[in-house]
Amino acid sequence: MPSSPRTDHAGPDNLVEKEQRPFVPRTSLRRAHTSQLFVGALALFAGSIAFSVLGMLLLQLVPSSLSYFGPYLGALISAPTWTYMSMLPVLAILMYGPELGWKRMSFFVVWGCVSGGASELIGTTGLLAIGDLVLPFGQYEYTSWLGPKFADHVPYFIPASWFAMSIVSFDLARRLSDTRWVYLLVAATFMTLWDVSLDPAMNGAGAQYAVGSVTFWSYPQGGFYYGMPISNWIGWLAVSYVIMLGYEYLGGSLDTYHPWAPAVYLLNCLFPLLILVMQGMTVAVFWGAVATAIPFLALWRTPGASFRFFPANA
Is 20 a member of any domain?
no
The answer to whether 278 and 56 have CB atoms below 8 angstroms apart is yes
Query: What does the pLDDT read at residue 280?
Result: 85
In a domain, 263, yes or no: yes
pTM: 0.86
Q: Please report whether residue 42 resides in a domain.
A: no
Residue 14 has pLDDT above 50, yes or no: no
Q: Which residue has the higher pLDDT, 273 or 221?
A: 273
Specify if 3 maps to a domain: no
Q: In this structure, is residue 33 part of a structural domain? A: no
Split at pLDDT 50, 70, 90, the class of 118 is very high
Is residue 54 scored above 90 in pLDDT?
A: yes
Q: What pLDDT was estimated at residue 205?
A: 58
pLDDT tens profile 84-113: 999 999 999 999 999 899 999 999 999 999
**Buried/exposed 173-182: b ≥16 CB within 10 Å, e otherwise:** bbbbbeeeee
pLDDT digits (tens, 9 = 90+) for 146-166: 999 999 999 999 999 999 999
pLDDT at residue 17 above 60?
Answer: no
Judged against a pLDDT cut of 70, whether residue 269 lies above it is answered with: yes
pLDDT-based confidence at residue 63 (cuts at 50, 70, 90):
confident
63 vs 14, higher pLDDT:
63
pLDDT of residue 213: 66
Is the dihedral angle over the CA atoms 258, 259, 262, 263 positive or is it negative? negative
Nearest to residue 109, comparing CAs of 167, 155, 54?
167
In a domain, 15, yes or no: no
pLDDT at 80 over 90: yes
Q: How far apart are CA 105 and CA 112, in angstroms?
A: 11
| Domain span holding position 181 | 101-301
Mean pLDDT for 278-284 is 89
Where b means 16+ CB within 10 Å and e means fewer, 289-313 reads bebbeebbebbeeeeeeebeeeeee
- Cβ atoms of 139 and 124 closer than 8 Å: no
The percentage of the chain sitting over the pLDDT mark of 70, rounded to a whole number, equals 85
Domain-located, residue 285 = yes
Number of domains composing the chain = 1
Name every residue whose Cβ is closer than 8 Å to that of residue 116 and which is 6 or more positions away in sequence: 158, 159, 161, 162, 163, 166, 239, 243
Q: For 31-48, what is the mean pLDDT?
A: 85
What is residue 261's predicted lDDT score, i.e. its pLDDT?
94
Is the per-residue pLDDT at 198 higher than 70? yes
Residue 150 counted as domain residue: yes
Mean pLDDT check: name the lowest of 41-50, 120-129, 144-153, 204-213: 204-213
